[in-house]
């Protein structure tokens, strides 16, 4: 027996199908290829002298004013996701990094002068930030620019105390690194509400939960992202990871889950955990844009120059890397990652590099993208 759908339901179903197909076509239609050589243009940060168009770098007024008419007219690549135009490329503190495997990563070049983190001035800034985090933990009425997102008071206290320890330890450590932090966005799915990690948190990061099979797989792209973040920390690329993500799609706080993935034993046979004082928690971001905003807020509060953004090889990587139909919409957002995953699946699994451009990138001679997130 067949059932006829009401006309309104048919119309809504057809509209949803058209919208999904439109996103699919837009996402497939405009992929930015990896350059085959290092060019002297915005794709590699060289919007400064000498350029093809002018012997003088653009002024701050030009860069902060009419970007389209003064900068993009000079170099069309300046508007692409895969560019990082700088009036002073050396000041971007970009350092190429090479992944030899998912567990081994090293800086592929020396750190530019003045870019190693932390220097003596930054250590003083870190001490002040640690005190601010302590005040948030001690006083419910203290100014809190980091954790005002619906967390319980007990969670705010636990996170603030944990992050204060991470920042204080970072300032006391004698070593320096090319990047201030590895930024690790979370990945939320509705099914994660069934994860045993919904009860795990920073109040006792050593209380590890045994994960295997389906309970491990529930954590999705965070498995790959944290594995790469650990490799970067062990390789000296950055001293800490900033794990960013709230309880958006389920009860699971993505930042807490990534803390567990980084510090606890896991089924990956070759994975080497990191110490809990190497993981800064940002438990409030609710989509990709706020991952970058909230992590950038911590970078700025740390007095940092640049952070290293890491993701997986799937939709979020494409979003950071590609010039797609999503870029054409001023209000485009990746709020509903679970819903959009169907579009990602339709596109196919195109393997990409370990890290992708956010606010800017360079391309290496090895055909792998590396990214920095500037705190300036």
Residue 17 covered by a domain: no
* DSSP states along 74-93: T-GGGGSTT---BSSGGGG-
Beta bridge mates, 374 = 306
Average pLDDT, the chain: 76
Q: Is the pLDDT of residue 304 over 90?
A: yes
Residue 339 covered by a domain: yes
Do 183 and 289 fall within a single domain?
yes
Cβ neighbours for 177, distance < 8 A, ≥ 6 positions apart: 116, 117, 236, 237, 238, 239
Do 108 and 69 fall within a single domain?
no
Q: Is the pLDDT of residue 179 over 90?
A: yes
The model's pTM is 0.73
At 71-107, the pLDDT tens digits run 787 777 777 766 666 666 667 788 889 989 888 999 9
Which is higher by pLDDT, 70 or 55?
A: 70
Which is higher by pLDDT, 90 or 172?
A: 172
Domain boundary pick from 92, 125, 155: 92
Do 164 and 215 fall within a single domain?
yes
Do 50 and 179 fall within a single domain?
no
Predicted pLDDT at 62:
75
Residue 333 covered by a domain: yes
Number of C-beta neighbours around residue 215 at 10 A: 15
At 7-50, the pLDDT tens digits run 444 444 444 444 444 444 444 445 556 666 667 777 776 765 55
Predicted pLDDT at 69:
78
Predicted pLDDT at 53:
57
Do 251 and 303 fall within a single domain?
yes
Tokens for 165?
């320890």
Cβ neighbours for 278, distance < 8 A, ≥ 6 positions apart: 166, 233, 239, 240, 241, 262
Average pLDDT over residues 100-129: 93
Residue 248 covered by a domain: yes
Residue 18 covered by a domain: no
Which is higher by pLDDT, 22 or 263?
A: 263
Do 179 and 83 fall within a single domain?
no
Beta bridge mates, 315 = none
Predicted pLDDT at 118:
97
Do 111 and 69 fall within a single domain?
no
Domain boundary pick from 92, 107, 128: 92
Phi-psi region of 32 (alpha: psi -120 to 50; beta: other; left: phi over 0): beta
HEC string for 96-146: CEEEEECCEEEECCCCCCCCCECCHHHHHHHHHHHHHHHHHHHCCCCCCCC
Tokens for 349?
């699994």
Helix axes 288-301, 120-138, angle to 10 degrees: 110
Do 56 and 203 fall within a single domain?
no
- CB contact at 8 A, 112 and 95: yes
**pLDDT over 70, % of the chain:** 67
Spatial distance between the Cα atoms of 82 and 75, rounded to a whole number of angstroms: 13
Instruction: Give the total number of structural domains in the chain.
Output: 2
- For residue 111, what are the domain limits? 97-374
Predicted pLDDT at 25:
42
Number of C-beta neighbours around residue 315 at 10 A: 21
- CB contact at 8 A, 315 and 181: no
Which of 84-93, 160-169, 186-195, 196-205 shows the lowest mean pLDDT across its residues? 84-93
At 311-367, the pLDDT tens digits run 887 767 766 655 444 333 333 333 323 222 222 222 332 223 223 233 333 322 222
Average pLDDT over residues 57-64: 74
HEC string for 147-200: CCCCCCHHHHHHHHHHHHHHHHHHHHCCCCECCCCEEEECCCCHHHHHCHHHHC
At 294-303, the pLDDT tens digits run 999 999 999 9
Predicted pLDDT at 342:
27
Cβ neighbours for 154, distance < 8 A, ≥ 6 positions apart: 203
What's the length of the chain? 376
Side-by-side strand order, sheet with 241-244: 279-282, 241-244, 182-185, 306-309, 369-374, 361-363
Residue 213 covered by a domain: yes
């Amino acid at each position: 027996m067949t059932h006829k759908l009401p006309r309104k339901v048919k119309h809504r179903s057809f509209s949803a199908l058209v919208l999904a197909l439109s996103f699919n076509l837009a996402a497939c239609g405009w992929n930015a290829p990896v350059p085959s050589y290092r060019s002297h243009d915005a794709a590699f940060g060289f919007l400064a002298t000498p350029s093809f168009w002018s012997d003088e770098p653009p002024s701050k007024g030009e860069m902060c004013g009419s970007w389209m008419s003064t900068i993009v007219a000079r170099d069309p690549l300046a508007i692409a996701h895969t560019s990082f135009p700088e009036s002073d490329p050396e000041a971007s503190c970009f350092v190429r990094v090479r992944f030899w495997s998912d567990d081994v990563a090293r800086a592929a070049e020396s750190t530019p002068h003045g870019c190693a983190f932390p220097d003596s001035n930054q250590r003083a800034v870190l001490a002040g930030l640690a005190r601010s985090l302590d005040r948030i933990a001690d006083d419910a009425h203290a100014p809190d620019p980091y954790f005002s997102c619906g967390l319980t008071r007990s969670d705010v206290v636990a996170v603030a105390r944990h992050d204060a320890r991470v920042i204080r330890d970072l300032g006391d450590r004698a070593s320096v690194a090319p990047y201030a932090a590895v930024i690790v966005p979370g990945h939320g799915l509705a099914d994660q509400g069934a994860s045993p990690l919904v009860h795990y948190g920073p109040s006792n990061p050593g209380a590890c939960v045994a994960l295997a099979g389906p309970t491990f797989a529930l954590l999705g792209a965070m498995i790959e992202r944290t594995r790469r973040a650990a490799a970067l920390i062990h390789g000296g690329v950055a001293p800490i990871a900033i794990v960013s993500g709230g309880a958006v799609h389920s009860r699971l706080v993505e930042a807490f889950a990534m803390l567990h993935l980084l510090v606890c034993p896991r089924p990956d046979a070759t994975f080497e955990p990191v110490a809990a004082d190497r993981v800064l928690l940002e438990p409030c971001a609710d989509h990709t844009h706020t991952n970058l905003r909230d992590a950038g807020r911590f970078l700025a509060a740390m007095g940092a120059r640049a952070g290293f953004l890491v993701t997986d090889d799937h939709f979020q990587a494409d979003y950071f890397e590609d010039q797609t139909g999503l870029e054409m919409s001023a209000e485009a957002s990746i709020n509903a990652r679970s819903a959009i995953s169907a579009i990602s699946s339709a596109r196919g699994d195109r393997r990409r590099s370990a890290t992708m451009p956010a606010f800017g990138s360079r391309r290496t001679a090895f055909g792998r993208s590396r990214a920095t997130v500037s705190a300036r």
